[in-house]
Chain A
């Protein structure tokens, strides 16, 4: 049973370009969460999605950021018109349908560098 898969692991973009980060949850998991780890800062919650629904996006910046988790395929975190401050590690986590324990399983992260 593969773990949470994220790609790309490393992404370099120039200011103004778009970044797309993908996350495939563990098999049987239908809840996906995105977290961001800025340099020298702790991990911060961004968004929580279930299949085809955004449940909580309270941690997502209001502009340029969007997330989706379609019926088929991975969850995607999209950052439009990237700026240097977007450089960070973006982690995806998943949990089972009945996440009564609240335990999350994290991917290895996607490290975005904006030049």
Chain B
């Protein structure tokens, strides 16, 4: 059974810092890995999607890497801003399927203070 763990559970940083969020998964046979952002009381916004054959994806100040063999992914946020404050979720899709049965981590609650 796939399990996804995110570390740290919470992170508080001053504005401008570069930071790394970690995600690990127990079964390396994944189809893809997604990072989402969730604001309080809101839905999920997809940030980055990495296919199993890829090593990383970048979007603006965000960079996500994937090491499938070791079951790890990191989300790097450069020059953090207060508007980045949210819960960040990592989710994987099982290998052998292309449909959206995601296994989520518990999330990292990020607070960026001015």
Binds A, one of B62-70, B74-82, B100-108: B100-108
**Given known contacts A42-B104, A44-B104, is B43 in contact with A102 (CB within 8 Å)?**
no
In-complex Cβ contact of A99 among B36, B45, B98 (8 A): B98
Whether A69 sits at the interface, judged by CB under 8 Å, is no
- Contact status A45-B107, CB under 8 Å: no
Interface size class of A (residues with CB under 8 A): 20 to 34
B29 vs chain A, min Cβ distance (A): 14
B30 vs chain A, min Cβ distance (A): 10
- Set of chain A residues within 8 Å of B107, measured between Cβ atoms: 42
- Set of chain A residues within 8 Å of B51, measured between Cβ atoms: 101
- Contact status B98-A102, CB under 8 Å: yes
B35 vs chain A, min Cβ distance (A): 12
- Set of chain A residues within 8 Å of B103, measured between Cβ atoms: 45
In the complex, A42 Cα to B6 Cα: how many Å?
11
- Contact status B104-A93, CB under 8 Å: no
- Set of chain B residues within 8 Å of A109, measured between Cβ atoms: 42-43
- Set of chain B residues within 8 Å of A95, measured between Cβ atoms: 99-100
In the complex, A48 Cα to B94 Cα: how many Å?
14
In-complex Cβ contact of B89 among A43, A99, A103 (8 A): A43
**Given known contacts A42-B107, A95-B99, is B46 in contact with A102 (CB within 8 Å)?**
no
In the complex, A101 Cα to B51 Cα: how many Å?
7
- Set of chain A residues within 8 Å of B28, measured between Cβ atoms: none
- Contact status A48-B101, CB under 8 Å: yes
- Set of chain B residues within 8 Å of A56, measured between Cβ atoms: 99, 101
- B-side residues, CB < 8 A to A, are 4, 31-32, 34, 36, 41-46, 49, 51, 89, 91, 93, 98-107
- A-side residues, CB < 8 A to B, are 4, 31, 33, 35, 41-45, 48, 55-56, 91, 93, 95, 99-109, 111
